[in-house]
Amino acid sequence: LEKATKKVTQGKPAQGKKERAYHHGDLRATLIAAALSLIERDGVKGFSLKDAAVMAGVSTAAPYRHFADKEALLRAIQDEGFRQFNSALNAAYESAGTPSAKLEELGVAYVRFALEHPAHIRVMFGLRGTDDSAQDSATDGDDNASGFLLLVAAVEALHPDAPAEVRHDLVMASWSIVHGFAMLQLEGAFAVAGDNGPAEEQLRRALRLTVVNVQ
Amino acid sequence: LEKATKKVTQGKPAQGKKERAYHHGDLRATLIAAALSLIERDGVKGFSLKDAAVMAGVSTAAPYRHFADKEALLRAIQDEGFRQFNSALNAAYESAGTPSAKLEELGVAYVRFALEHPAHIRVMFGLRGTDDSAQDSATDGDDNASGFLLLVAAVEALHPDAPAEVRHDLVMASWSIVHGFAMLQLEGAFAVAGDNGPAEEQLRRALRLTVVNVQ
DNA sequence: TGTACATCAGTGAACGCGCGTTCACTGATGTAC
DNA sequence: TGTACATCAGTGAACGCGCGTTCACTGATGTAC
């Protein structure tokens, strides 16, 4: 009977913890999801691999069948984060018609991703300051820069006749404003400013007021 | 002889570690300094009280004569940070003549503080997401909001006839751009954009291009 | 179609380590007389 | 001015705990015959 139950539930990922088969099915993804929710609560340095294992319903040694060590899990989260992030920025860029709309939608997508994936963002930006600067710059070449290039392209399309330095300044300003907005929103810092409607609408007004309609 | 040496050096804080007296003189400040340099390297969650004690040249139990626990040290750093931060913003606000200069100098002071005191910033903004939301909001009332009020005042002076919502949007945009600029600079994220001169000049141009000369 | 076997994803117990914190102590300081 | 004593900032050793990681193992899966 016990074996029958196990066989029935075999192969179905993301099932209830009690009916889980001996072979989990998709422990790798489940561990990443658990880690993300723990990082959201405790931060990148504050979460523990053991807690992630417990949350996934497996023993504390199980993660080592899928990740060489804790760092490897974090790198997997970072990679997944950049992939999703760049895909979101790409979609935003493509979806918009005019250059100014492209710039605005890029900004909105940037902030939306950060607010919807706070743990991913923390890992993506938090891993930079530490250890592997070699591996980081390697990833930069592929993944990380591509969002930046879309921003450069949008600004270039919006101000084709502006001097290169001005365009560069506008790129920096745009990146800064969306990054700052996202971080302050995540930290709850804007509470001091009182509630002024949905975050996305505030952001759109701020972007139009500054970088989108500049000059 | 040994005792004589100790008596000679007694009472002089911040002296060489070898000649330190039995009573340190200013262990509290020394511990804070040590903690700051460790936090700069390892992050708020990554630094250890024991390492700070060793770096200060005392036993691992010594810090408990000055701080109830690790949290208390972090709160002291946070308080010191907000005091210095607000004083820098105040000086910037007072030093500038015109409203637009006030806005620009506020932004420059914000970023300069962040770049010069990265560990303070990490503690000031990193402690928000965690535990004591009560104590945080208490501090918000006194310290934290005062910098924000200067920003509100500068924007109000710059656009006295603008609708309140537009002013609010400009406040959010200004705060976001300086915060984002500071964070991205600290993370080294701007490396992907190539070197474009001193950070402060870049920031000034970005500010003038967007929030200072808006409309 | 059924069975032996290699493979592989799990288990559970243990390790070593670093960290926050405590405790009984001791040396130095300042003060009352 | 010199001395006894309370106070207080340090010491050094130890505690308990949680964490990353390892290891010998075992149950499940899929495949060759």
**How many helices and strands, by DSSP H and E, does chain B display?**
10, 0
**Residues near B79 by Cβ (< 8 Å), separated by ≥ 6?**
B139, B143
For residue A7, what pLDDT band results from cuts at 50, 70 and 90?
very low
The token duo for B77 is 């750093």
Residues of A within 8 A of B128 (CB-CB) are: 187-189
pLDDT recorded at residue B126: 83
CA dist., res. B92 & res. B166, Å (int): 24
For residue A180, the distance in angstroms to the closest alpha carbon of chain B comes to 3
b/e code B42-69 from CB counts within 10 Å (16+ = b): bbbeebebebbbebbebeeeebeebbee
Other beta carbons less than 10 A from residue A92's beta carbon = 24
| H/E segment holding residue B197 | none
CA dist., res. A13 & res. A24, Å (int): 7
The token duo for B69 is 């626990």
pLDDT in tens, chain B (215 residues): 233 333 333 333 333 333 345 577 799 999 999 999 999 999 999 999 999 999 999 999 999 999 999 999 999 999 999 999 999 999 999 999 999 999 999 999 999 999 999 999 999 988 764 444 434 444 444 566 789 999 999 999 999 999 999 999 999 999 999 999 999 999 999 999 888 899 999 999 999 999 998 87
CA dist., res. B92 & res. B110, Å (int): 9
In percent, the amount of chain A with pLDDT more than 90 equals 73
Taking residues A153-174, what's their average pLDDT? Answer: 97
Residues of B within 8 A of A182 (CB-CB) are: 180
Q: Which of B18, B107, B32, B105 is nearest to B75 (CA)?
A: B32
CA dist., res. A77 & res. A195, Å (int): 33
**Residues near A193 by Cβ (< 8 Å), separated by ≥ 6?**
B148, B168, B171, B172
Determine the distance between A84 (CA) and D25 (C1') in angstroms: 40
CA dihedral A86, A91, A96, A102 (to 10 degrees): 0
**Interchain contact, A173 vs B210, CB within 8 Å:** yes
pLDDT recorded at residue B209: 96
Q: What is the residue-averaged pLDDT of chain A?
A: 86
For residue A16, what pLDDT band results from cuts at 50, 70 and 90?
very low
- Residues A22 and A43 sit within 8 Å (Cβ to Cβ): no
| H/E segment holding residue B32 | helix B27-42
Asked if the model's pLDDT at residue A166 lies above 70, the reply is: yes
**Residues near B45 by Cβ (< 8 Å), separated by ≥ 6?**
A43, A45, A46
pTM for the full predicted model: 0.88
Q: What is the 3-state secondary structure (H, E, C) of B34-98?
A: HHHHHHHHHCCCCCCHHHHHHHHCCCCCHHHHCCCCHHHHHHHHHHHHHHHHHHHHHHHHHHCCC
| Higher pLDDT, residue A51 or A18 | A51
Q: Which of A66-70, A155-159, B194-198 has the lowest mean pLDDT?
A: B194-198
Q: Tell me: the pLDDT tens digits for A137-150?
A: 444 445 667 899 99
For residue A195, what pLDDT band results from cuts at 50, 70 and 90?
confident
Q: Which nucleotide is nearest to B59 (CA to C1')?
A: D11
Residues of A within 8 A of B173 (CB-CB) are: 177, 206-207, 209-210
Residue written as token pair 């969002």? A147
pLDDT recorded at residue B138: 43
B48 touches strand C (CB under 7 A): yes
Q: Which residues 41-70 on A are within 7 A of strand C at the CB atom?
A: 57-62, 65-66
Q: Return the SS3 of A215.
A: coil
CA dihedral B199, B203, B205, B208 (to 10 degrees): -170
Residue B25 vs residues B9, B64, B79, B141, B160: alpha-carbon distances, Å: 10, 15, 22, 34, 52
pLDDT recorded at residue A128: 62
pLDDT recorded at residue A13: 35
Largest CA distance in chain A: 75
The token duo for A145 is 């820069």
Q: Which residues of B touch A (CB under 8 A)?
A: 43, 45-46, 125-126, 128-129, 140, 144-145, 148, 165-166, 168-173, 175-184, 187-190, 192-193, 196, 202, 205-207, 209-211, 214
